[in-house]
Structure 1
Amino acid sequence: MKSSFGLLLAAGLCVASVARHDTALFREVDNARSVHITSMSEGPDSSRFTYTKLVSGLDEPMEMAILPNYDVVVAERKGAVRYFNNATKELSTVAQLNVFSGIEDGLLGVAVDPDFKNNNWIYFYYGLGGEKSISQLARFELKGQSLVRDSKKVLLEVPTQRKYCCHSAGYITFSDGLLYLSIGDNTNAEEIEGHTPIDERPGRELSDDQAATANSNDFRGKILRIKPEPDGTYSIPDGNLFPKDGSQGKPEIYVMGVRNPFRISVDPKTKYLYWGDVGPDTEVPGSEGKMSYDEINQARKPGFFGYPYFLGDNEVFPDYDFATKKEGPGKDPQKPVNDSPHNTGVRELPPAQPAWIWYGKGPSKKYPLVGKGGASAMAGPVYYSDLYPNAPYKLPEYYNGKLFIFEWIRKWIMAVTMDANGNYARMEPFLPQLKVVAPIDMQIAPDGAIYLLAYGTNWFARNTDSGIIRVEYAEGNRNPIATVSTSKTIGAAPFTVTLSAKGSKDYDEGDQLTYEWKIGAKKLVSEEIKHTFTKPGIYNVVLSVSDQHGGRGTATTEFKIGNTPPDVKILTKANRSFYWDNVPFDYKITVTDKEDGKIEPSKIHAGFNYLAFGKDLAGALSGSEGENIRYAATAKLYSSLDCKACHTMETKSIGPALKAISKRYEGKPDVADMLARKIITGGSGTWGSYPMPPHADLPEKDAKEIAGYILSLSKTSSRTPLTAQVKLTEHVGKGNEGAYVLLASYTDKGANGIGPQKMATHIVLRNPLIQMEDYQEGNVGVVVATQNTGFVSYISNITNGKYTRFNQIDLTHIKNIRFRIQEHGAGGTIELRQDARDGMLLGKVDITDGRLEDLKIGWKEVLLPVNSAIGVHDLYLVFKNEKIKAPMFHIDWMYFENDLNP
């Protein structure tokens, strides 16, 4: 399936059969700014690679331009031009271009002139805002961090249509002073009826790719090659596809017959052009399943690359008649003829060139490493060692001559090896641990470091896991890894904060580190500092960590001063950890905010529901406003897939809105199972003729959960009260694995130039029976449940001084802890202690010496009285028998007894 920006999905219910992924910028990164990679399956020693998160939280980044001083300009689709200052590590917005950002359009490309050091020219490609449907390739001057708006020169205008989605592409790159621009076919892909869009009926030219990518007189579905001139115009270089006089087609065209050439690169030595072409979703049988291939292409010379007539290894699409709904014989790849009435260019096209690499949604026999599922192929740079002389981070010779390709959906990067003639030889994973979320651009800087641009998890959204990643390889001294530890980063002025660099590392043994902090013009040299921000504003604190050999690593932390986050509390007299039969739960939600003052109750979000474990409770708590907790985790699962490409919540996109689907099927019997089957098996005709591909790899339980989530959207749920006393009954008859979740959140109005801040809190009530092997920390043994143990798992090898810890348990109203134990050993004492192994003693119970028994000892229950404990604490169970060094007993579970139980 294809998403937005070329990952075009079907018009019905679209759910990708792609693997789940972490929502961190990459899996190994948590709050640290840099992470060291420890292993690699192919190629050189991966311990020499490090990568650093330079920037995060971008709003739909599309392309980046690396300046000679290693500053980075990023084009965001909605029109923002973002500037990362490499010296200060600060990110700013230097311009907001007037763009049309509907469908997949917007600010799509950015590149600096090869002579940027002298002329300061920077190029953008974007859909121009306003009523006129055109996209522009424009040049500006970028002086320092200022985009000179009146320096604008429009080199090229591309007429487009803005009625239908999709495919805009828009990548810019330079080679030998020539500018290459990729442009998508911009053709209606909503009603292709399982075929390619070749609708020749009158008035249907917007649904006919023969009017675009196969049309020599149209810029769309092409890769252009021009030579920018100093006066802001351009000339046509020698060797393009058509004559310079325009007699046979647009002379700017270098490659035609492409669908969505989203990312392109030019080999700096051979000058071969590479691009990833995001393929269609069709029902046409192919050599590997259906002809829905993504392609990596290589153009050694200008040419026609087949679409919409051919795909992959020149496999032929049938000539589908949209009027009669019948298939006819396809075109001849050697002599393709564009005989569509919508064609305004030449009829006889150049011979179709086959794809270089191609793969579908299922496993690929020819290229097994590419995996399966949703896809979006991208082409990165070709690397040559000798082009980076004396570069400190140049890749090893192993990668010399290799092409890097990458996958937006499948999240891999491959190094492709070619033979002496430039033919494909093999591919292998490149840093497979680097699970970048939606990599959208890849470039090599002059110092040999690789820069990756991550789009992030959710489409058409600002993502916290988007950003710029810098990958370094070092044979000799490796740069230190700078890590900032701090507490809150948001608050009212004056705001005092302690910053620590103690988490910073250096992987070269014996290196001595020094630490420098930069806050505005102020510099402090210390491993730990304390600083007070006295005025409202947004501040970047930069930590630089250096070793004695000149190695240096940096990390930036942003502080937003001027708006105190709201204080959201859930007050209750009940226990905050457990539920019991027939014991009510009372609560009161309160919110205070220093700047907002009086809080409107309607602005407070609250939700209370019963969840079965196994539904990613943490995901539910982080992904819900409160009202629909039941499906919060499912909504998070849905958002991790590529369904959003054709389904929005409220309005029709390529497919129907989720709420429209829910409304159509509201109240109908067995509809959840029907939708789940449809998600898995695919189909067409319910919402239009566009086919929905099957998702056979999606687990049935996930399909049913997603169907239930969609159906829930039409239901009007009653608002959860902010104060209540609830009788807990939903768990009855449903086992011990469920939990009640009460969630409260509030987003303030913002203050002093700082945007709104959201705070949330929650209470999770679980069953009071806890299996002992579920401890968070400890040093006892665990016996796994088998037939020999009666299918009981328990903790064992309990000797004097050993312990287990259970995190954050509320002892309010707890009078006893009941243990199921087996007196199988020397006996001893179980001590209950608060917050530490030697913390406050809350109670204890003695266990009999089981060695005195001649018969086989069974399980029994004992009570540990809890002495007037209250509040939420970490609980330590410490086991004592100082008289003998031998195992004392086994423990199966513990049960917390409530003093309110009737």
Structure 2
Amino acid sequence: MKTFLLTLFAAATCLSLSAFFTKPIAKAPANDAPDSTRFTHMTLAQGLDEPMEMAILPNLDVVIVERKGDVKLYVAKEKQIKTIAHINVYSGIEDGLLGVAADPDFGKNHWIYLYYGVAGDKNVSHLARYDLVDQKLNFDSKKVLLEIPTQRTYCCHSAGYLTFSDGLLYLSTGDNTNAEEIEGHNPTDERPGRQLSDDQGTTANSKDFRGKILRIKPLPDGTYAIPEGNLFPKDGSLGFPEIYVMGCRNPFRVSVDPKTKFVYWGDVGPDTNVPAEEGFLSYDEINQARKPGFFGYPYFLGNNEGFPKYDFETKKEGPKQDPLHPINNSPNNTGIKELPPAQPAMIWYGKGESKRWPMVGKGAASAMAGPVYYSDMYRNAKYKLPEYYNGKLFIYEWIRKWIMAVTLDKDGNYVSMEPFLPHLKVIAPMDMQIAHDGAIYMLAYGTNWFAKNTDAGLIRVEYSEGNRNPIADIKVDKTVGAAPLTVNLSASSSRDYDQNDKLTYHWQVADKTLTGTKISHTITKPGIYNVALTVSDQAGGSGVATTQIKVGNTPPDVTISTTSNRSFYWDNVPFDYKVIVKDAEDKSQVEKNIKLAFDYLPIGKDFAAALSGASHGSLRYAATQTFYASLDCKSCHTMDTKSIGPALKEISKRYAAQTGAAEQLAQKIIKGGSGNWGSYPMPPHPDLTAAQSRDLAGYILSLTGEKPQMATQGNINLTEHIGQGNTGAYVLTADYTDKGANGIEPLKSSAAIVLKNPLVQLEDFEKGNVSVSIGTKNNGFVTSVPAGNGKFVSFTNIDLNQIKRLKFRVVGDGDGGTLEIRESGVDGNLLGSVNVKGNSSQDIKIDWKELATDIKPVNRATDIYLVFKNPDSTKKLLFYIDWMYFER
């Protein structure tokens, strides 16, 4: 369900010369690669809201822009992040505040450049310059260098990356073309009224700023000059003179080699049905421009593999273009018709496994290009990378979450690639830059799209040849609560790879400085407080970690009370419940905001997904919903509104009542298809199993309509389990989100009860000192627990309320003995016992028997231990136990 766009994080299509392909197969990492333990990383800031790009200032403060308009500043000296401005932006589709760069002479002029979609009815984006002085953005200083017309009717591709090289400012722009209904082909729809679906009017148009990499020289008065060596003459006769590269789809991340001046960028390819060298012509690319040029799109991808000319009216394919002489005859083209020769990509890969570059993996993709490193440019830098990385290009993947170091030869040709810092596991790397002290800075976008993520942050990576810096790690018992709030902070998980180092721990909590591995601190006033931990060793090495404490809002207290048993269900036994919510700040209308969900899950013993809360649909498909979120489906489908593909709820409404809809949809998920929701193709997912696709289909079909809101108390007749076997469970969840207080955002709390079948298989024990046996004597394949003298198994948090008897299925294939039921431990309170008669005969057939015992009343949840005893036994085996059953 990955579209050809990969939403706002698509990248570009462009590269170089055929000579790049003399060594097409990716090589394994060299055996002399530096020790990865000499790289230490620290999270400088976390919880960012769609961070897009950063600018590292001379004092190592970092400006970060977020897509919805916030400008944030990480202050290195204070070890905290601040919101210093908000730009009023248009943030629909993929637009927003996208790019930031500091002027090369920032230390003197304090100029910062931003690129963003301008709010309001005028469809334009601005490249603007501002003064950034004393941690404040001066709005009165704004100078607009470029205004770029856009369309806001259709998604997608905005790009918007800014970078400087030798005083020249590079700006990448996406093709901004309709990403829908391209019928499995490239977007070249020339029919009247379809100009927004024709990339020949944008990226292949020499007189349009979109789908390009622009290069200008900013001037002190807020204007700019055209530098020498761009693609078109300065007089604009052939095309806009600002254009350096054209023929890109979405050049999302851009870097310039500081020595060769080669320009690198990534391009996320379309999802098409056009056959190609590797699957379909849907490649992502890493591109290299050695000089200005046209890089192929929408006519070519990869190694200049061409798209056939497609007639969207007749649905017929025509001939492919000649990459040496591409022609743009579209009626939507306002520039030159005879384009420069198309340049092939340096690295390209599709959705399946790549034969040329197997290390890139498979699946959804979003290729990005980072910096080229030269060791002599960091000669005296404290954290400079090893000589091993000299001349290597760093590339990275937003979706696949890897970073690669690419080796180039002396002419800039591809030689090999290898993983870089695979242990770092950055969640959706969004930007990668090297600071003047040699440290690598990275932005992590985080797990969820278009959202504020706790794992979105600013990361600093340092390399040390000698003494290695400690790695700071903060553990905190609570991060939010009412004032006064006492928090316990621990640095005990911090570490140092130099084993004999002695570490010291310094904490900065708001305006307080504290020391120690573990500290306790009370915050008396509401507010958001930054916490910084600096871990230092005796050689001067240090590592930093940060977090935030939010004081002023107490998390709600949600409980579910019941007089019924909280562990098991039985036939014809109703379940009563009452949900109680207490919130210190919310004084009214608490009950009406409680959300309950109840369902029967027919299969499975692990209900963690259901307990984590399904945000849509049935709890039955909570695990499937989690699996769905891990796939690439979000790039085509949203829950409620049309994106590239239809909304999931619209699919559910159309098909849920149709016979055979689940199987039909399951097949379509695996095989792909088009035509039911317009002409845009749904890509296939051959790696999914039939069971996975059926679960996905069931989940989507379950979204039709909304279940009636449950009352906060009542009785439920438990009948859905009848005839469903004994592996299912009922799940009741209750959620409450408060209203927020004292400037702290709303907080959510949950409670849940899981009712399982009262027949419990013994092999599902949680603790024990026994093995599990399969295939006991004369009985075929039965999974059971062999009991020996002094052995035990235990089950945690079992509610014994209303439990009168325990029944066991046993066989005395041994000396026999006693099965004791004890509470809380092997020597705990004896609740009951069963004597199992042994039988050591080798000739007599041994049959399973059911034995039962009453147990002492225990009206609470507790841990139960089954302890096996026969001190007189001369054999290891006393008996086998298959299952136990809890009787009311």
TM-score (norm 2): 0.92
Provide, for residues 247-297 of structure 1, a one-character-per-residue CA deviation record: whole Å limited to 9, x for no partner: 221111111111111111112222211111111122222122221111111
Output the CA distance in 2 between the equivalents of 1:681 and 1:626. Answer: 26
Residue number in structure 1 paired with 2:878? 889
Letter in 2 for 1:818: K
Residue number in structure 1 paired with 2:439? 449
Letter in 1 for 2:8: F
Within the candidate set 381, 385, 402, 2:375 is matched to 385
CA contact (8 A) 1:4 1:459 kept: no
CA contact (8 A) 1:109 1:171 kept: yes
Residue number in structure 1 paired with 2:512? 522
Q: How does 1:115-134 map to 2 (within 5 A)?
A: 115-134=105-124
Stretches of structure 2 lacking an aligned partner (at least 5 in a row): 12-28
Output the CA distance in 2 between the equivalents of 1:306 and 1:196. Answer: 12
SS in 2 for 1:689: strand
Residue number in structure 2 paired with 1:699? 689
Residue number in structure 2 paired with 1:57? 47
Residue number in structure 1 paired with 2:25? none
Stretches of structure 1 lacking an aligned partner (at least 5 in a row): 9-38
Q: Which moved more, 1:348-357 or 1:239-248?
A: 239-248
Count of residues paired in the alignment: 868
Provide, for residues 682-724 of structure 1, a one-character-per-residue CA deviation record: whole Å limited to 9, x for no partner: 2222121222222222222222222222222223422222212
SS in 2 for 1:411: coil
CA contact (8 A) 2:73 2:82 kept: yes
Letter in 2 for 1:675: L
SS in 1 for 2:675: coil
Within the candidate set 778, 794, 804, 1:815 is matched to 804
Shift of 1:114: 2.2
Output the CA distance in 1 between the equivalents of 2:783 and 2:455. Answer: 39
Output the CA distance in 2 between the equivalents of 1:531 and 1:864. Answer: 53
Residue number in structure 1 paired with 2:16? none
Letter in 2 for 1:56: Q
Distance 1:523 1:373, change over 3 A: same
CA contact (8 A) 1:606 1:626 kept: no
Distance 1:560 1:183, change over 3 A: same
Letter in 2 for 1:814: I
Output the CA distance in 1 between the equivalents of 2:504 and 2:463. Answer: 22
SS in 1 for 2:662: helix
Shift of 1:838: 5.2
Output the CA distance in 1 between the equivalents of 2:42 and 2:834. Answer: 52
1:567 and 2:570 matched: no
SS in 2 for 1:691: strand
Provide, for residues 413-435 of structure 1, a one-character-per-residue CA deviation record: whole Å limited to 9, x for no partner: 22222223221122222233444
Shift of 1:63: 1.4
Residue number in structure 2 paired with 1:868? 857
Residue number in structure 2 paired with 1:4? 7
Q: How does 1:763-842 map to 2 (within 5 A)?
A: 763-784=753-774, 790-796=780-786, 798=788, 800=790, 802-823=791-812, 830-836=819-825, 839-842=828-831
Shift of 1:840: 4.7
SS in 2 for 1:362: coil
CA contact (8 A) 1:455 1:467 kept: yes
Shift of 1:169: 0.6
Distance 1:715 1:78, change over 3 A: same
Output the CA distance in 2 between the equivalents of 1:476 and 1:850. Answer: 68
Letter in 2 for 1:763: I
Distance 1:625 1:4, change over 3 A: closer
Shift of 1:353: 0.6
Output the CA distance in 1 between the equivalents of 2:781 and 2:165. Answer: 67
Within the candidate set 53, 64, 73, 1:74 is matched to 64
Output the CA distance in 1 between the equivalents of 2:408 and 2:643. Answer: 41
Provide, for residues 555-603 of structure 1, a one-character-per-residue CA deviation record: whole Å limited to 9, x for no partner: 3232221112211110011121122223322111111212212334331
Distance 1:833 1:122, change over 3 A: farther
Residue number in structure 2 paired with 1:143? 133
CA contact (8 A) 1:781 1:798 kept: no
CA contact (8 A) 2:602 2:729 kept: yes
Distance 1:816 1:152, change over 3 A: same
Distance 1:625 1:293, change over 3 A: closer
Output the CA distance in 2 between the equivalents of 1:852 and 1:438. Answer: 64
Provide, for residues 376-433 of structure 1, a one-character-per-residue CA deviation record: whole Å limited to 9, x for no partner: 1111122223333344443333322222222222222222222232211222222334
Distance 1:626 1:372, change over 3 A: closer
Output the CA distance in 2 between the equivalents of 1:741 and 1:508. Answer: 49
Distance 1:834 1:516, change over 3 A: farther
Within the candidate set 684, 688, 694, 2:678 is matched to 688
SS in 1 for 2:351: coil
Shift of 1:160: 0.9
Letter in 1 for 2:305: E
Output the CA distance in 1 between the equivalents of 2:606 and 2:429. Answer: 26
Letter in 2 for 1:471: V
1:467 and 2:422 matched: no
Output the CA distance in 2 between the equivalents of 1:799 and 1:40. Answer: 55
Q: Which moved more, 1:133-142 or 1:413-422?
A: 413-422
CA RMSD after TM alignment: 2.8
Letter in 2 for 1:585: F
Output the CA distance in 2 between the equivalents of 1:42 and 1:380. Answer: 23
Distance 1:667 1:108, change over 3 A: same
Distance 1:542 1:381, change over 3 A: same
Output the CA distance in 1 between the equivalents of 2:422 and 2:801. Answer: 48
Letter in 2 for 1:521: D
Output the CA distance in 2 between the equivalents of 1:245 and 1:788. Answer: 94
CA contact (8 A) 1:615 1:633 kept: no
Q: Which moved more, 1:864-873 or 1:547-556?
A: 864-873
Letter in 1 for 2:798: I
Output the CA distance in 2 between the equivalents of 1:91 and 1:382. Answer: 28
Distance 1:351 1:783, change over 3 A: same
CA contact (8 A) 1:817 1:894 kept: no
Within the candidate set 362, 369, 372, 2:359 is matched to 369
CA contact (8 A) 1:608 1:626 kept: no
SS in 1 for 2:804: strand
1:242 and 2:214 matched: no
Letter in 1 for 2:45: V
Residue number in structure 2 paired with 1:543? 533
CA contact (8 A) 1:265 1:275 kept: yes
SS in 2 for 1:262: coil
Letter in 1 for 2:887: N
Shift of 1:846: 5.5
Provide, for residues 228-251 of structure 1, a one-character-per-residue CA deviation record: whole Å limited to 9, x for no partner: 222222222221111222222111
Output the CA distance in 1 between the equivalents of 2:583 and 2:30. Answer: 49
CA contact (8 A) 2:605 2:728 kept: no
Output the CA distance in 2 between the equivalents of 1:546 and 1:834. Answer: 47
Within the candidate set 567, 570, 575, 1:580 is matched to 570
Residue number in structure 2 paired with 1:405? 395
CA contact (8 A) 2:806 2:885 kept: yes
Letter in 2 for 1:429: P
Output the CA distance in 2 between the equivalents of 1:40 and 1:881. Answer: 61
Distance 1:190 1:707, change over 3 A: same
CA contact (8 A) 1:54 1:469 kept: yes
Provide, for residues 741-773 of structure 1, a one-character-per-residue CA deviation record: whole Å limited to 9, x for no partner: 000011111122222111111001112233333
Q: How does 1:432-511 map to 2 (within 5 A)?
A: 432-511=422-501
CA contact (8 A) 1:40 1:432 kept: no
CA contact (8 A) 1:585 1:725 kept: yes
Residue number in structure 2 paired with 1:262? 252
Provide, for residues 123-147 of structure 1, a one-character-per-residue CA deviation record: whole Å limited to 9, x for no partner: 1111111111111111222224322
CA contact (8 A) 1:406 1:439 kept: yes
SS in 2 for 1:436: coil
Residue number in structure 2 paired with 1:159? 149
Letter in 2 for 1:374: A
Letter in 1 for 2:440: I
TM-score (norm 1): 0.90
Identity fraction in percent: 64
